[in-house]
């Protein structure tokens, strides 16, 4: 394998990638993750339409995720600031799980994978925060990149 870490220079120091020579293109990324609940907690939340004492669990998590996407470069030191075109976060219930999917789009010189992953992560943490009074046995799992397009290497899981 001849690949190298892009954020480490030849001296082993952290560096921000120079994207000034790259062409601007439409970049998209989709990430996903899961928040798994004990059966009885999920049943209680579902019976209340995922409304808690702090408000709508799902809508609060969506807003938190969108805010986080916009702040990714402040949270992850070597990420570039990007002008985002679109952020969409969908949270859907299934068997004792809230499934999170975040799609991010921009017209830039670098991709939005970290933004999509950050959106999923903060949405999941917000769900945990809003539900932890019911149980601490809540798991955040399977946060992963599903797809990215627009760079020199597209990816699709």
Which active-site residues does the annotation give? 129
Residues 52-62 as b or e (16 or more Cβ within 10 Å = b): eeeeebbebbb
Paired strand residues for 98: 35, 93
CA dist 23 and 108 (Å) reads 8
H or E element: which one contains 73?
helix 72-75
Please say whether the beta carbons of 104 and 24 come within 8 A.
Answer: no
CA dist 124 and 84 (Å) reads 21
Instruction: Specify burial of residue 32 (Cβ count, 10 A radius: 0-12, 13-18, 19+).
Output: buried
CA geometry: angle at 21 spanning 16 and 22, to 5°? 85
């Amino acid at each position: 394998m001849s690949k190298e870490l892009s954020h480490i220079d030849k001296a082993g120091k952290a560096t921000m990638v120079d994207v000034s020579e790259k062409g601007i293109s439409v970049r998209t990324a989709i990430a996903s993750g899961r928040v798994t609940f004990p059966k009885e907690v999920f049943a209680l939340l579902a019976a209340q339409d995922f409304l808690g004492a702090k408000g709508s669990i799902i809508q609060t998590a969506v807003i938190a995720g969108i805010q986080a996407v916009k702040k990714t470069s402040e949270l992850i030191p070597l990420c570039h600031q990007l002008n985002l075109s679109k952020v969409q976060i969908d949270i859907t219930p299934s068997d004792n799980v809230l499934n999170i999917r975040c799609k991010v789009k921009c017209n830039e010189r670098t991709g939005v994978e970290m933004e999509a992953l950050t959106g999923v992560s903060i949405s999941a943490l917000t769900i945990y925060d809003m539900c932890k009074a019911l149980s601490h046995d809540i798991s955040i799992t399977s946060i992963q990149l599903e797809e990215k397009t627009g760079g020199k290497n597209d990816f699709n899981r």
